[in-house]
Structure 1
Amino acid sequence: MGLINNATDKLSENLGYAETHNLRIGTMWSIINPPRSANKAHVHPGCLWSGVYYIQAPEKCGNIEFVEPRTVHLMNQAKYQPNKKRPKECWTKVRFKPVPGRMIIFPSWLYHSVDTNMTEESGEAANRIIISFNLNQVKAK
Protein backbone atom coordinates (compact mmCIF):
# COMPACT_ATOMS: atom_id res chain seq x y z
CA MET A 1 0.00 0.00 0.00
CA GLY A 2 2.90 2.36 0.71
CA LEU A 3 4.05 2.26 -2.92
CA ILE A 4 0.57 3.17 -4.17
CA ASN A 5 0.00 5.85 -1.51
CA ASN A 6 3.37 7.47 -2.31
CA ALA A 7 2.48 7.57 -6.01
CA THR A 8 -1.01 8.95 -5.36
CA ASP A 9 0.31 11.64 -3.00
CA LYS A 10 2.72 12.76 -5.74
CA LEU A 11 -0.11 12.66 -8.32
CA SER A 12 -2.35 14.78 -6.06
CA GLU A 13 0.42 17.32 -5.58
CA ASN A 14 1.22 17.52 -9.32
CA LEU A 15 -2.46 18.02 -10.19
CA GLY A 16 -3.03 20.63 -7.48
CA TYR A 17 -5.70 18.63 -5.65
CA ALA A 18 -7.06 20.16 -2.43
CA GLU A 19 -4.87 19.43 0.59
CA THR A 20 -8.06 18.71 2.55
CA HIS A 21 -8.45 15.42 0.65
CA ASN A 22 -6.17 12.51 -0.22
CA LEU A 23 -6.33 10.03 -3.07
CA ARG A 24 -6.78 6.61 -1.49
CA ILE A 25 -7.60 3.07 -2.57
CA GLY A 26 -11.34 2.39 -2.68
CA THR A 27 -11.16 -1.12 -4.13
CA MET A 28 -8.32 -3.50 -4.92
CA TRP A 29 -8.20 -6.95 -6.51
CA SER A 30 -5.83 -9.35 -8.21
CA ILE A 31 -6.09 -10.86 -11.68
CA ILE A 32 -4.32 -13.97 -12.89
CA ASN A 33 -4.44 -14.27 -16.68
CA PRO A 34 -3.28 -17.69 -17.87
CA PRO A 35 -2.24 -18.26 -21.49
CA ARG A 36 -4.94 -17.48 -24.11
CA SER A 37 -6.81 -15.10 -21.79
CA ALA A 38 -7.35 -11.37 -22.26
CA ASN A 39 -9.35 -8.46 -20.83
CA LYS A 40 -11.87 -6.65 -23.06
CA ALA A 41 -12.04 -2.85 -23.22
CA HIS A 42 -13.64 -1.33 -20.15
CA VAL A 43 -13.64 1.65 -17.80
CA HIS A 44 -13.95 1.93 -14.01
CA PRO A 45 -17.05 4.02 -13.19
CA GLY A 46 -17.36 5.85 -9.89
CA CYS A 47 -13.62 6.40 -9.43
CA LEU A 48 -11.17 9.18 -10.25
CA TRP A 49 -8.12 7.06 -11.03
CA SER A 50 -7.34 3.39 -11.54
CA GLY A 51 -4.10 1.51 -11.57
CA VAL A 52 -2.31 -1.72 -12.27
CA TYR A 53 0.81 -3.15 -10.63
CA TYR A 54 2.56 -6.03 -12.40
CA ILE A 55 3.62 -8.90 -10.14
CA GLN A 56 4.50 -11.40 -12.88
CA ALA A 57 4.67 -10.70 -16.60
CA PRO A 58 6.23 -13.34 -18.85
CA GLU A 59 7.24 -12.43 -22.42
CA LYS A 60 4.28 -12.05 -24.82
CA CYS A 61 1.77 -12.06 -21.94
CA GLY A 62 -0.26 -9.19 -23.42
CA ASN A 63 0.23 -5.43 -23.52
CA ILE A 64 -2.20 -3.04 -21.87
CA GLU A 65 -3.76 -0.63 -24.37
CA PHE A 66 -5.39 2.72 -23.63
CA VAL A 67 -7.77 4.14 -26.24
CA GLU A 68 -8.72 7.77 -26.89
CA PRO A 69 -12.40 7.90 -25.84
CA ARG A 70 -13.38 10.92 -27.96
CA THR A 71 -14.20 8.94 -31.10
CA VAL A 72 -15.85 11.87 -32.91
CA HIS A 73 -12.41 13.21 -33.86
CA LEU A 74 -11.83 10.03 -35.90
CA MET A 75 -14.31 11.14 -38.59
CA ASN A 76 -11.66 13.25 -40.32
CA GLN A 77 -8.03 12.47 -39.55
CA ALA A 78 -5.00 14.34 -40.79
CA LYS A 79 -2.56 12.68 -43.16
CA TYR A 80 1.01 12.37 -41.92
CA GLN A 81 4.33 11.99 -43.68
CA PRO A 82 5.30 8.36 -44.18
CA ASN A 83 7.95 7.09 -41.76
CA LYS A 84 7.47 10.09 -39.48
CA LYS A 85 6.18 9.48 -35.98
CA ARG A 86 2.97 11.30 -35.06
CA PRO A 87 3.17 13.78 -32.18
CA LYS A 88 1.85 12.33 -28.89
CA GLU A 89 -1.06 14.78 -28.98
CA CYS A 90 -2.36 12.98 -32.10
CA TRP A 91 -2.16 9.41 -30.82
CA THR A 92 -5.45 7.52 -30.56
CA LYS A 93 -3.99 4.48 -28.75
CA VAL A 94 -1.12 3.97 -26.35
CA ARG A 95 0.28 0.55 -25.44
CA PHE A 96 2.54 -0.50 -22.59
CA LYS A 97 4.42 -3.75 -22.23
CA PRO A 98 3.91 -5.32 -18.81
CA VAL A 99 7.07 -5.35 -16.69
CA PRO A 100 7.22 -6.89 -13.20
CA GLY A 101 7.36 -4.07 -10.64
CA ARG A 102 5.85 -1.47 -13.01
CA MET A 103 2.83 0.49 -11.84
CA ILE A 104 0.58 2.43 -14.21
CA ILE A 105 -2.03 4.88 -12.88
CA PHE A 106 -4.58 6.24 -15.34
CA PRO A 107 -7.92 8.13 -15.36
CA SER A 108 -10.74 5.71 -14.56
CA TRP A 109 -12.79 6.96 -17.55
CA LEU A 110 -10.06 5.93 -20.01
CA TYR A 111 -10.97 2.81 -21.99
CA HIS A 112 -8.33 0.12 -21.66
CA SER A 113 -7.90 -3.53 -22.57
CA VAL A 114 -5.25 -6.23 -22.28
CA ASP A 115 -4.08 -8.29 -25.25
CA THR A 116 -4.23 -12.08 -25.20
CA ASN A 117 -1.54 -13.79 -23.15
CA MET A 118 0.46 -15.55 -25.88
CA THR A 119 3.46 -16.52 -23.77
CA GLU A 120 5.39 -19.66 -24.56
CA GLU A 121 6.12 -20.25 -20.87
CA SER A 122 4.42 -23.18 -19.17
CA GLY A 123 2.89 -23.85 -15.78
CA GLU A 124 2.59 -21.09 -13.17
CA ALA A 125 5.33 -19.07 -14.91
CA ALA A 126 2.93 -18.54 -17.86
CA ASN A 127 0.45 -16.47 -15.84
CA ARG A 128 0.28 -12.68 -16.04
CA ILE A 129 -0.36 -11.64 -12.43
CA ILE A 130 -1.43 -8.12 -11.52
CA ILE A 131 -2.88 -6.12 -8.68
CA SER A 132 -5.52 -3.63 -9.84
CA PHE A 133 -6.99 -0.80 -7.82
CA ASN A 134 -9.36 2.17 -7.96
CA LEU A 135 -8.72 5.51 -6.29
CA ASN A 136 -10.99 8.24 -4.96
CA GLN A 137 -10.49 11.32 -2.84
CA VAL A 138 -11.18 10.97 0.87
CA LYS A 139 -11.15 13.69 3.50
CA ALA A 140 -7.68 14.01 5.04
CA LYS A 141 -7.39 13.10 8.72
Structure 2
Amino acid sequence: MARTLFATLLHEASIDAPALLLALAHSIRTLAQDDFAGRRWSREHGYKGYTSYASLNDLPHRDPAIADLRRILDRHAAAFALELGFDLKRKPRLDSLWVNSLKGGGHHAAHIHPQSMLSGTFYVEVPAGSGDIRFEDPRLPMMMASPLRRDDAPEMLRPFVTVSPQPGTLLLWESWLRHEVRPGTGRAERLSISFNYA
Protein backbone atom coordinates (compact mmCIF):
# COMPACT_ATOMS: atom_id res chain seq x y z
CA MET A 1 0.00 0.00 0.00
CA ALA A 2 1.34 3.44 -0.93
CA ARG A 3 2.13 6.05 1.69
CA THR A 4 1.88 9.81 1.19
CA LEU A 5 5.25 11.51 1.69
CA PHE A 6 6.34 15.16 1.68
CA ALA A 7 2.84 16.61 1.57
CA THR A 8 2.21 20.16 0.36
CA LEU A 9 -0.72 21.69 2.25
CA LEU A 10 -2.98 24.47 0.98
CA HIS A 11 -5.18 26.15 3.60
CA GLU A 12 -8.53 27.20 2.14
CA ALA A 13 -11.33 28.95 4.01
CA SER A 14 -14.48 30.81 3.09
CA ILE A 15 -14.93 34.01 5.11
CA ASP A 16 -18.63 34.90 5.33
CA ALA A 17 -18.45 38.65 5.94
CA PRO A 18 -20.41 40.63 3.30
CA ALA A 19 -19.97 43.99 5.07
CA LEU A 20 -16.20 43.46 5.30
CA LEU A 21 -16.02 42.58 1.60
CA LEU A 22 -17.86 45.81 0.69
CA ALA A 23 -15.57 47.88 2.92
CA LEU A 24 -12.43 46.23 1.51
CA ALA A 25 -13.60 46.78 -2.08
CA HIS A 26 -14.09 50.48 -1.28
CA SER A 27 -10.64 50.63 0.33
CA ILE A 28 -8.91 49.01 -2.64
CA ARG A 29 -10.60 51.32 -5.15
CA THR A 30 -9.78 54.39 -3.05
CA LEU A 31 -6.13 53.35 -2.75
CA ALA A 32 -5.98 52.72 -6.50
CA GLN A 33 -7.07 56.32 -7.06
CA ASP A 34 -4.94 58.00 -4.39
CA ASP A 35 -1.69 55.99 -4.38
CA PHE A 36 0.26 57.68 -7.18
CA ALA A 37 3.48 55.84 -6.31
CA GLY A 38 1.70 52.48 -6.54
CA ARG A 39 0.08 53.38 -9.84
CA ARG A 40 3.46 54.45 -11.22
CA TRP A 41 5.14 51.22 -10.04
CA SER A 42 2.34 49.14 -11.55
CA ARG A 43 2.68 50.95 -14.88
CA GLU A 44 6.49 50.71 -14.95
CA HIS A 45 6.43 46.98 -14.11
CA GLY A 46 3.69 46.01 -16.54
CA TYR A 47 1.11 45.16 -13.87
CA LYS A 48 -2.25 45.34 -15.60
CA GLY A 49 -4.13 47.29 -12.98
CA TYR A 50 -2.97 48.54 -9.59
CA THR A 51 -1.06 47.06 -6.67
CA SER A 52 0.24 48.70 -3.50
CA TYR A 53 3.00 46.06 -3.31
CA ALA A 54 5.90 48.53 -3.64
CA SER A 55 4.34 51.70 -2.27
CA LEU A 56 2.40 51.25 1.00
CA ASN A 57 3.56 49.13 3.92
CA ASP A 58 1.19 50.22 6.71
CA LEU A 59 -2.28 49.38 5.39
CA PRO A 60 -3.60 47.67 8.58
CA HIS A 61 -2.76 50.88 10.48
CA ARG A 62 -4.10 53.13 7.75
CA ASP A 63 -7.45 51.43 7.06
CA PRO A 64 -9.96 50.00 9.62
CA ALA A 65 -11.35 47.40 7.20
CA ILE A 66 -7.88 46.06 6.47
CA ALA A 67 -7.20 46.01 10.24
CA ASP A 68 -10.33 43.86 10.66
CA LEU A 69 -9.09 41.54 7.92
CA ARG A 70 -5.69 41.31 9.59
CA ARG A 71 -7.27 39.88 12.75
CA ILE A 72 -8.89 37.15 10.64
CA LEU A 73 -5.63 36.46 8.80
CA ASP A 74 -3.69 36.23 12.07
CA ARG A 75 -6.03 33.51 13.37
CA HIS A 76 -5.82 31.48 10.15
CA ALA A 77 -2.04 31.83 9.90
CA ALA A 78 -1.61 30.61 13.48
CA ALA A 79 -3.92 27.62 12.88
CA PHE A 80 -2.18 26.74 9.61
CA ALA A 81 1.26 26.91 11.25
CA LEU A 82 0.05 24.36 13.81
CA GLU A 83 -1.34 22.14 11.05
CA LEU A 84 2.05 22.29 9.30
CA GLY A 85 3.79 21.11 12.46
CA PHE A 86 6.02 24.18 12.70
CA ASP A 87 8.10 24.32 15.90
CA LEU A 88 7.67 28.03 16.63
CA LYS A 89 8.37 30.05 19.76
CA ARG A 90 5.77 32.62 18.72
CA LYS A 91 2.78 32.91 16.40
CA PRO A 92 3.47 33.84 12.77
CA ARG A 93 3.78 37.61 12.39
CA LEU A 94 2.31 39.59 9.49
CA ASP A 95 5.32 40.88 7.58
CA SER A 96 3.71 42.56 4.57
CA LEU A 97 0.28 43.09 3.06
CA TRP A 98 -0.74 44.70 -0.22
CA VAL A 99 -3.92 45.23 -2.23
CA ASN A 100 -4.43 44.30 -5.88
CA SER A 101 -6.86 45.45 -8.54
CA LEU A 102 -6.16 43.29 -11.59
CA LYS A 103 -7.86 44.28 -14.83
CA GLY A 104 -9.52 41.74 -17.09
CA GLY A 105 -6.94 39.79 -19.06
CA GLY A 106 -4.24 40.58 -16.51
CA HIS A 107 -2.03 37.88 -15.07
CA HIS A 108 0.89 37.41 -12.69
CA ALA A 109 3.79 35.19 -13.75
CA ALA A 110 4.84 32.21 -11.62
CA HIS A 111 6.79 33.23 -8.52
CA ILE A 112 7.57 32.47 -4.88
CA HIS A 113 7.77 34.75 -1.82
CA PRO A 114 11.36 34.63 -0.50
CA GLN A 115 12.15 35.45 3.14
CA SER A 116 8.64 34.58 4.30
CA MET A 117 7.17 31.56 6.06
CA LEU A 118 3.54 31.70 4.92
CA SER A 119 1.93 33.60 2.07
CA GLY A 120 -1.62 33.96 0.91
CA THR A 121 -4.39 35.89 -0.76
CA PHE A 122 -7.85 36.98 0.31
CA TYR A 123 -10.32 37.50 -2.54
CA VAL A 124 -12.67 40.49 -2.31
CA GLU A 125 -14.31 40.62 -5.77
CA VAL A 126 -13.96 37.84 -8.34
CA PRO A 127 -16.01 38.71 -11.44
CA ALA A 128 -16.85 36.11 -14.08
CA GLY A 129 -13.82 35.40 -16.24
CA SER A 130 -11.27 36.31 -13.57
CA GLY A 131 -7.99 34.43 -13.77
CA ASP A 132 -7.56 31.44 -11.46
CA ILE A 133 -4.56 30.88 -9.22
CA ARG A 134 -2.41 27.89 -10.14
CA PHE A 135 0.08 26.11 -7.89
CA GLU A 136 3.06 24.13 -9.18
CA ASP A 137 4.43 20.87 -7.78
CA PRO A 138 7.80 21.92 -6.27
CA ARG A 139 9.36 18.65 -7.49
CA LEU A 140 8.81 19.42 -11.18
CA PRO A 141 12.47 20.33 -11.93
CA MET A 142 13.56 16.90 -10.65
CA MET A 143 11.06 14.73 -12.48
CA MET A 144 13.27 14.20 -15.56
CA ALA A 145 11.85 11.04 -17.21
CA SER A 146 8.60 10.96 -15.27
CA PRO A 147 5.61 10.29 -17.59
CA LEU A 148 2.71 12.71 -17.86
CA ARG A 149 -0.16 12.18 -15.42
CA ARG A 150 -3.58 11.06 -16.62
CA ASP A 151 -6.28 13.71 -16.68
CA ASP A 152 -8.16 11.81 -13.98
CA ALA A 153 -5.15 11.52 -11.64
CA PRO A 154 -5.93 12.51 -8.02
CA GLU A 155 -5.29 16.17 -7.25
CA MET A 156 -2.34 15.36 -4.97
CA LEU A 157 -0.53 13.68 -7.91
CA ARG A 158 -1.01 16.42 -10.49
CA PRO A 159 1.92 18.68 -11.49
CA PHE A 160 -0.35 21.76 -11.35
CA VAL A 161 -3.41 22.46 -9.23
CA THR A 162 -5.74 25.31 -10.14
CA VAL A 163 -8.07 27.02 -7.68
CA SER A 164 -11.01 29.18 -8.78
CA PRO A 165 -11.59 31.53 -5.82
CA GLN A 166 -14.85 33.21 -4.91
CA PRO A 167 -15.43 36.44 -2.95
CA GLY A 168 -14.44 35.67 0.64
CA THR A 169 -12.02 32.86 -0.28
CA LEU A 170 -8.86 32.84 1.82
CA LEU A 171 -5.87 30.80 0.62
CA LEU A 172 -2.67 30.23 2.63
CA TRP A 173 0.42 28.26 1.57
CA GLU A 174 4.08 27.90 2.46
CA SER A 175 5.98 30.75 0.82
CA TRP A 176 8.27 28.47 -1.22
CA LEU A 177 5.30 27.12 -3.19
CA ARG A 178 5.46 28.49 -6.73
CA HIS A 179 2.19 29.96 -7.96
CA GLU A 180 0.79 32.19 -10.67
CA VAL A 181 -2.36 34.07 -11.62
CA ARG A 182 -3.66 32.77 -14.94
CA PRO A 183 -4.86 35.30 -17.55
CA GLY A 184 -8.53 36.09 -17.20
CA THR A 185 -11.08 36.26 -19.97
CA GLY A 186 -13.43 38.81 -18.40
CA ARG A 187 -13.28 42.59 -18.42
CA ALA A 188 -14.07 43.49 -14.83
CA GLU A 189 -11.36 44.00 -12.21
CA ARG A 190 -10.53 41.26 -9.71
CA LEU A 191 -9.90 42.69 -6.23
CA SER A 192 -7.69 40.83 -3.76
CA ILE A 193 -5.35 41.34 -0.82
CA SER A 194 -2.08 39.40 -0.64
CA PHE A 195 0.21 39.01 2.35
CA ASN A 196 3.26 37.34 3.86
CA TYR A 197 3.92 36.02 7.36
CA ALA A 198 7.39 35.63 8.86
Q: 1:22 to 1:59 in 2, by over 3 A?
A: same
Other-structure match for 2:107: 38
Instruction: Letter of the 2:166 partner, please give it.
Output: V
Q: CA deviation at 1:7?
A: 0.5
Q: 1:74 to 1:26 in 2, by over 3 A?
A: same
1:18-50: per-residue Cα shift (whole Å, max 9, x none)? 452111210000111011211111111000110
Identify which of structures 1 and 2 has the higher relative contact order when contacts are C-alpha pairs closer than 8 Å and 6+ apart.
1
Other-structure match for 2:189: 127
Q: CA deviation at 1:11?
A: 1.2
Other-structure match for 1:29: 98
Unpaired runs of 5+ residues, structure 1, are 121-125, 137-141
Task: Tell me if 1:63 matches 2:63.
Answer: no
Q: Which has the higher strand share?
A: 1
Question: TM-score, structure 1 length as denominator?
Answer: 0.82
Q: CA deviation at 1:79?
A: 6.2
Task: Tell me if 1:9 matches 2:71.
Answer: no
1:76-108: per-residue Cα shift (whole Å, max 9, x none)? 22466x66x213332110100021100000111
Question: TM-score, structure 2 length as denominator?
Answer: 0.60
State how far apart, in whole Å, the 2-side matches of 1:4 and 1:132 are: 11
- % of aligned pairs identical? 26
State how far apart, in whole Å, the 1-side matches of 2:113 and 2:78 are: 20
Other-structure match for 2:174: 107
Task: Tell me if 1:97 matches 2:164.
Answer: yes
State how far apart, in whole Å, the 2-side matches of 1:111 and 1:44 are: 8
Q: 1:88 to 1:37 in 2, by over 3 A?
A: closer
Unpaired runs of 5+ residues, structure 2, are 1-69
Q: CA deviation at 1:117?
A: 2.4
Q: CA deviation at 1:3?
A: 1.1
